[in-house]
Structure 1
Amino acid sequence: MKSLPLNLAVLLLVGCGANNTPPQAPLPGKDTSATLSTLETGAQVIQSRPPVEAISAYLDGFHFYSGDKNGQMEAHHYVTVLNEEVMQAVIYDGNTKDARLMGVEYIISERLFNTLPPEEKQLWHSHQYEVKSGSLVAPGLPAVADKALMNKIVNTYGKTWHTWHTDRDKTLPLGIPALMMGFTGEGQLDPALLADRDRRLKIDTQEIKARRADILAHPVAEGANAWQRGEVIQLKRVQGSGEHGHGDTAHFGASEKSENQKQP
């Protein structure tokens, strides 16, 4: 990690906080054979994995489908710092060895976000509320390291695509990718999801929120969180129905507006 202080980098690397959230969907297929297990073990010893080894932080938070605030799920982010203003994360549905890879998130600074064209900004969500509310956490980090990391993240913006919708009881990565958003205010996140997360990770979101009270959050930049303005974006097939509706919520095409989604 070239862009964070050395002491914080070390803390991120040695922090714990895993192996308490197994995958959320069953997996079809035969058990791993002895041959494949041997090949896997050999590859781990012989081959290098620089992009994987560059992952240096673990963040746990929550996402929802753009256009469907009822479709909520916990998301385990494993983050690589590319430079001072750009990070990337692989996202899983758990924090165990067999967790399902759900998607990816790209994280950029406020300065870079403000350089984006208006149509691109619609794809990005803010992190101010997630950090200040304590709903975004870094499991296992000491309080000092957590504060330093969240000071870096609070005014950033993320673009997130999920490719395996394990919350919809899909045992394989079926369907098309979905654009995800982050929560922006009180009363949006399902309290049962938050309580279950806190129980497993042995944390208290309200205590974390209080510790972060002095973190400076800028006003959300214009153009982010487009779903709050009714500008809902999702991919859709040229023919056939979409995968990402929940209940009576429709599946939306790019920049299609919904009267029901204009306010959180």
Structure 2
Amino acid sequence: MKNLHFTGVFFLSLLSGCGGNNTPSNVTSPGDEKTAKEEILNLGADLLQNKSPLRGFNAYLDGFHFYNGNMYAQMEAHHYVNQLNEDLYQAIIFDGNGDKAKIMGVEYIITEKLFRTLPAEEKKLWHSHRYEVKSGELIAPGIPDIAEHELMEKLVSTYGKTIHTWHTDQQRTLPIGSPMVMMGFTADGQINKQMLADRDKRFKISTIGKRKNREDIPIHAIDPLANAWQKGEIRQFVISSKADSAMHKHQGIMKKSSN
């Protein structure tokens, strides 16, 4: 596979692309305004501190998620992506693309080569990207069509593991509640049509047009253990009022070793 960071077309796309600042955050959080002193400290930190881990987040993808086990709770997700190597990506997910956007969660993206190495139970936490790519629902705003098409050729056979920690679609003011495993759409008729139309209008694009443009992208069979929600196998976090079982196990081991 070609590494898109080093192809000429992708490099030019990064120089000319934009596609931001058209989607505000869903929530306004409580708290006092930053003081003048804090603004100065932040400016100094921005100029002086090294931020190497953030520099690799140089691609922007816009798509949609729903809560694993509840397809009717859907939201738009703005992914800022870092490619770690040829087979592994990591993304920070925001609820908008402006300077007030809130971090909703993270997504890890792997190629089918790595996905095949996962244990069966682990695979049930992951979703495929084939439909998202082929349907035109997943877009890379601000880059030329030829560069986006090449990027989608790479993503079409990948799998994502997504955790949301701030449920801004529910108009929460703070990141409260349990983290949630998220999924991606797999067929026509699942996504909220108005949500999709609103996205297309903001970015001045056509999902239908992108679907047609991607008809030539080849597809591979999806691993039957991915998208486990389709078979009624839901995986979610559970908040328990009891002490964590792992802690009890750890304490038991420590007690035995001290005897």
TM-score by length of 1: 0.88
Partner residue in 2 for 1:104:
106
Q: Deviations over 1:35-94 (max 9, x none)?
A: 111111111111121111111100000000000001100000000000110000000000
Contact 1:102 1:163 in 2 (8 A): yes
Residue aligning to 2:118? 116
Residue identity opposite 1:10 in structure 2: F
What's the % identity of the aligned pairs?
54
Do 1:3 and 1:81's aligned partners in 2 also have CA atoms closer than 8 Å?
A: no
Secondary structure of the equivalent of 2:57?
coil
Q: Is the 8 A contact 1:16 1:141 kept in 2?
A: yes
Number of equivalences: 239
Which ranges in structure 2 are unaligned for 5 or more consecutive residues?
Answer: 243-259
Q: Which residue matches 2:145?
A: 143
Post-superposition Cα deviations, 1:198-243, rounded to whole Å, max 9, x if no partner, equal 1111111101111111001112112100000000011011139xxx
Corresponding residue of 1:178 = 180
Q: Which residue of 2 aligns with 1:3?
A: 3
Please identify runs of 4+ aligned residues in structure 1 that moved more than 3 A: none
Stretch deviating more after TM superposition (182-191 or 39-48): 39-48
Name the CA distance, whole Å, in 1 between partners of 2:13 and 2:107. Answer: 19
CA distance in 1, matches of 2:134, 2:153: 10
- Superposed, 1:1-264 pairs within 5 Å as 3-4=3-4, 5-14=6-15, 15-239=17-241
Structure 1 residue 122: deviation in Å? 0.4
1:152-207 residue CA offsets vs partner (Å, 9 max, x unmatched): 10000000000000011111000111000000000000001100101111111101
Q: Which amino acid is 1:13 matched to?
A: L
- The CA RMSD over aligned residues, in Å, is 1.3
Cα deviation digits, residues 95-137 of structure 1 (max 9, x gap): 0011000000000000110111110000000000000000000
Letter in 2 for 1:144: I
* 1:3 shift after superposition: 3.0
Contact 1:65/1:179, CA 8 A, preserved across alignment: yes
Deviates more, 1:23-32 or 1:130-139: 23-32
TM-score normalised per structure 2: 0.90
1:246 alignment counterpart: none
